[in-house]
Chains A and B, each alone.
Chain A
Amino acid sequence: MRQQSAATRHGPIRVLIAKVGLDGHDRGAKVVVRFLRDAGMEVIYTGLHQTPTQVVQSAIQEDVDVVGLSFLSGAHIGLTRKVIEELKAQGVAEKPVVVGGTIVDDDIEPLKALGVAGVFPVGTPPPEVVDAIKRLGEQA
């Protein structure tokens, strides 16, 4: 399943996958991490219980090209908004944010209105997620 290494001008695409908030269901996040790594991207997985501030700090420290947030908690709109606001506050608003998990259709437009670059509800085939993140990363 090795594809041609996904790369930016500066080397492999770097992605942060984060579990932000209190939810501890990490199966989806971990599976996405594996698919992204198989596609040649460098992935940092934060582990659980990250605050929006911690997510953005990691995104900056690790110099990632794309930030991915994973939710089963129903808290996706509130917490995504906080992450995006913090990215702006830290001067790195250009880092695209994508969101995955249990997200009802009605929440997709509100997330996009916040500035989310991609929404991947439960059931999205991982290769679709990989492709979308690859495209976002190549623009970085």
Chain B
Amino acid sequence: MDNHSEQIVQEEERWGREKKVASLPPSRTEMGRDVKPVYTPADVKNTDYLRDLGFPGQYPFTRGVYPGMYRVTPWQMRLYSGFGTAEDTNKRWKFLLASGNNGVAVALDMPTQLGLDADHEMAEDEVGKLGAAVDTLADMEVMYDGLSLDKIVSSFNVNAVCPVILAMYVALAEKQGTPLTALSGTLANDLFCEYVSRGAYIFPPEASLRLQTDVLEYCTKNLPKFYPYNIRGIIMREAGASMVQEIAFTFANAIAYVQAGVDRGLAVDDFGPRLSFFFANGEEIFEEVAKYRAARRIWARLMKERFGATRPQAMLLRFTATARGSIYEPVEPENNIIRGAYSVLAAALGGAQGMLHPALDEPFAIPTERTALLALRTQQICAYETGITRTADPLGGSYYVEYLTNEIEADILREMKKIEEMGGAAKAIEAGYMQKRIADEAFKWEQERLTGDRPVVGVNKFRQEQSGRSKMEFHKFDPTARDRQVQRLRQAKRERDPEAVRRTLAALQDAARRPDVNLIPPLIDATNACATLGEMCDALKAVFGIFREPVVV
């Protein structure tokens, strides 16, 4: 990248003096780095094109994970969706698929995510609110009614109960007569970020890692088109983490998961290609693009050098991105469409493989059909009308973006080293380190929003007197959802063979006591006997115990 760097530096200094550039107002990136008024080749003179950038689809993948990138197909477009009972969700999914979404991003309600059946006391007010209620295989069948598993891509945001949901999906496939090798989808299967920021955990860390690795092992052997990990930075980012923390904490968690796979005897070259990630980005386009480029380069080097991967596919950082719903505002909510559009642009320029997009009414409720459609159109207009898909990594070579990529990479590596020195992700989480850093950032963000140091249009800048809360139509929770679900649950329990349930749950519990047994097959047996999700989780709780968070503010 050297174009007579010394001469350029000299000329830049002369230009700066002549144009009194030092008197320009200062500007900083989110990382707190001062931004120059202009960037030149001299700012990236140590970047070696072939070593540090290379070509898309080739190590170190800075410019993208596939050679053709969006020329072959734009990123996968989905909307996180699910509510009420399986029927309600099935209906919404059919609408989304018909409007052009590729596959379904499955939202399960909180009781389901926490291993509780719909008739559990703590589930009463929460059934079907934030996702679909799933208690038995029958619910899965209804949810996928008319949707053939060999033709649909299912992305499950499921973590603590991931092994159970996987068992149900496999059981459903077997019922439909679909070979497991034809199933395409993703499982989040990521507990560490739940311990840090989202709280949908059940079991303690050691048991979680065992269950996660059971899922990894089972999928690696039986579901070759499934991604058994979707390791999430989004959770921590939306809780307040900075760009640097998002990547550093995610990779620290991922290192623990990869290591657990290796310790289980699985080959990194076999399961490396089946790892996927999920990040969130805001509207600071150049910084977010730099973040994604740096992340790809760091991950590739990590898999190669630390874990000894030899297949390039095992070194790829395949990721889904989402616009940050946390930057959406309730005042003048239509502005959120625009915030979302810029964020989609950043993710696309950053080379995401898929996107989920929050609808504009995110500060209020889950999406209506209208706002869900708008969210999809936001992505489609970027992909099909802007022309940014014509070539890979269009911002590559920008002096600013290459500079930012190098700087954020250094910051991320520094943070990752800190966590290594603490003993790794599990130790950092036990000590409350990640949680504290995130809470601090969230507080700082809020202070900046109040002082105006962080401009938010319509809120702390250009606020209108009449700026009130918009009169919008929001998704209304169906008050009958819980009763309908409980009725179906009770009916399923009446119709099943109680002896088969007792036997398979006992076998599950036995298997759980033995660390060398993969729990997915016993879970499939229990599922087929119509054991409920709550019953299966209770059987596991009896063996593993439950996790209590270290409360960190």
User: Do A and B associate with each other?
Assistant: yes
A residues at B contact (CB < 8 Å): 1, 19, 21-27, 30-31, 33-35, 45-49, 51, 73-75, 77-79, 82, 102, 104-106, 121-123, 125-127
Given A73-B130, A74-B365, A78-B124, answer yes or no on A22-B443 (Cβ-Cβ < 8 Å): no
A27 near B239 (CB under 8 angstroms)? yes
A123 near B111 (CB under 8 angstroms)? no
The size of the chain B interface, using a CB distance under 8 A, is: 41
Task: Decide yes or no whether B549 CB sits under 8 A from chain A.
Answer: yes
Q: Which one of B110, B124, B549 lies within 8 Å of A73 (CB-CB)? A: B110
Q: Which secondary structure dominates chain B's binding surface?
A: loop
Task: Decide yes or no whether B448 CB sits under 8 A from chain A.
Answer: no
Set of chain A residues within 8 Å of B2, measured between Cβ atoms: none
Interface centre among B125, B126, B469 (most CB of A within 10 A): B125
Given A74-B129, A123-B330, answer yes or no on A45-B551 (Cβ-Cβ < 8 Å): yes
Interface centre among A22, A31, A33, A104 (most CB of B within 10 A): A22
Set of chain A residues within 8 Å of B553, measured between Cβ atoms: 30, 33-34, 45
Q: How far is the CA of A125 from the CA of B79 in the complex (A)?
A: 29
A selection of 7 A-B contacts at a CB cut-off of 8 Å is A27-B197, A47-B549, A73-B130, A82-B125, A105-B469, A122-B330, A123-B331
Q: How far is the CA of A77 from the CA of B129 in the complex (A)?
A: 12
Produce 1/0 per residue, B187-213, CB < 8 A to A.
000000010011110000000000000
Q: Which one of B199, B331, B443, B551 lies within 8 Å of A31 (CB-CB)? A: B443
Task: Decide yes or no whether B123 CB sits under 8 A from chain A.
Answer: yes
Q: How far is the CA of A27 from the CA of B238 in the complex (A)?
A: 8
Q: Give how many A-B residue pairs fall within 8 Å (CB-CB).
A: 101
Q: Which one of B114, B331, B442 lies within 8 Å of A22 (CB-CB)? A: B114
Task: Decide yes or no whether B228 CB sits under 8 A from chain A.
Answer: no
B126 near A75 (CB under 8 angstroms)? yes
Chain B's closest residue to A123 (CB) is B330
Q: How far is the CA of A47 from the CA of B130 in the complex (A)?
A: 20
Set of chain B residues within 8 Å of A78, measured between Cβ atoms: 124-125
Set of chain B residues within 8 Å of A123, measured between Cβ atoms: 329-331, 363, 459
CB distance from A61 to the nearest CB of B (A): 15
Within 8 A of A (CB), among B118-132: 122-126, 129-130
Task: Decide yes or no whether B477 CB sits under 8 A from chain A.
Answer: yes
B442 near A27 (CB under 8 angstroms)? yes
Other CB < 8 Å A-B pairs besides A22-B110, A22-B114, A48-B549, 15 of them? A1-B447, A21-B125, A24-B197, A24-B198, A27-B240, A31-B442, A31-B446, A33-B553, A49-B199, A75-B129, A78-B125, A121-B330, A122-B330, A123-B329, A123-B331
Q: How far is the CA of A78 from the CA of B329 in the complex (A)?
A: 25
Set of chain A residues within 8 Å of B129, measured between Cβ atoms: 73-75
Chain B's closest residue to A51 (CB) is B122
B459 near A75 (CB under 8 angstroms)? no
B residues at A contact (CB < 8 Å): 110-111, 113-114, 116, 122-126, 129-130, 194, 197-200, 238-240, 326, 329-331, 363-366, 439, 442-443, 446-447, 450, 459, 469, 474, 477, 549, 551, 553
Chain A's closest residue to B469 (CB) is A105
Set of chain A residues within 8 Å of B240, measured between Cβ atoms: 27
Q: Which one of A1, A26, A74, A126 lies within 8 Å of B199 (CB-CB)? A: A26
CB distance from A7 to the nearest CB of B (A): 22
Q: How far is the CA of A104 from the CA of B364 in the complex (A)?
A: 5
B551 near A25 (CB under 8 angstroms)? no
A126 near B450 (CB under 8 angstroms)? yes
What are the 5 tightest A-B residue pairs by CB atom distance, in nearest-first order? A24-B199, A78-B125, A74-B129, A22-B110, A75-B125
CB distance from B106 to the nearest CB of A (A): 18
Set of chain A residues within 8 Å of B198, measured between Cβ atoms: 24-25
CB distance from B134 to the nearest CB of A (A): 15
Q: How far is the CA of A61 from the CA of B440 in the complex (A)?
A: 28
Q: How far is the CA of A127 from the CA of B442 in the complex (A)?
A: 15
Given A27-B239, A49-B199, A125-B450, answer yes or no on A34-B474 (Cβ-Cβ < 8 Å): no
Given A30-B442, A48-B199, A75-B126, answer yes or no on A104-B450 (Cβ-Cβ < 8 Å): no
Set of chain A residues within 8 Å of B200, measured between Cβ atoms: 24
Chain B's closest residue to A106 (CB) is B474
Set of chain A residues within 8 Å of B447, measured between Cβ atoms: 1
B238 near A104 (CB under 8 angstroms)? no
Set of chain B residues within 8 Å of A27, measured between Cβ atoms: 197, 238-240, 326, 439, 442
A127 near B450 (CB under 8 angstroms)? yes
Q: How far is the CA of A84 from the CA of B502 in the complex (A)?
A: 40
B199 near A104 (CB under 8 angstroms)? no
Set of chain A residues within 8 Å of B366, measured between Cβ atoms: 74
Interface centre among A26, A78, A122 (most CB of B within 10 A): A26
Interface centre among B116, B198, B199, B447 (most CB of A within 10 A): B199
CB distance from A26 to the nearest CB of B (A): 7
B363 near A122 (CB under 8 angstroms)? yes
Q: How far is the CA of A125 from the CA of B459 in the complex (A)?
A: 10
A22 near B363 (CB under 8 angstroms)? no
Q: How far is the CA of A27 from the CA of B327 in the complex (A)?
A: 13
Given A47-B549, A49-B199, answer yes or no on A23-B459 (Cβ-Cβ < 8 Å): no
A74 near B363 (CB under 8 angstroms)? no
Chain A's closest residue to B201 (CB) is A24
CB distance from A58 to the nearest CB of B (A): 12
CB distance from B474 to the nearest CB of A (A): 5
Q: How far is the CA of A25 from the CA of B148 in the complex (A)?
A: 34
Set of chain B residues within 8 Å of A125, measured between Cβ atoms: 450
A102 near B364 (CB under 8 angstroms)? yes
Given A21-B122, A125-B450, answer yes or no on A74-B474 (Cβ-Cβ < 8 Å): no
Q: Which one of B199, B443, B469 lies within 8 Å of A25 (CB-CB)? A: B199
Q: How far is the CA of A1 from the CA of B443 in the complex (A)?
A: 13
CB distance from A118 to the nearest CB of B (A): 16
Interface centre among A45, A74, A77 (most CB of B within 10 A): A74
Set of chain A residues within 8 Å of B551, measured between Cβ atoms: 45-47
CB distance from A49 to the nearest CB of B (A): 7
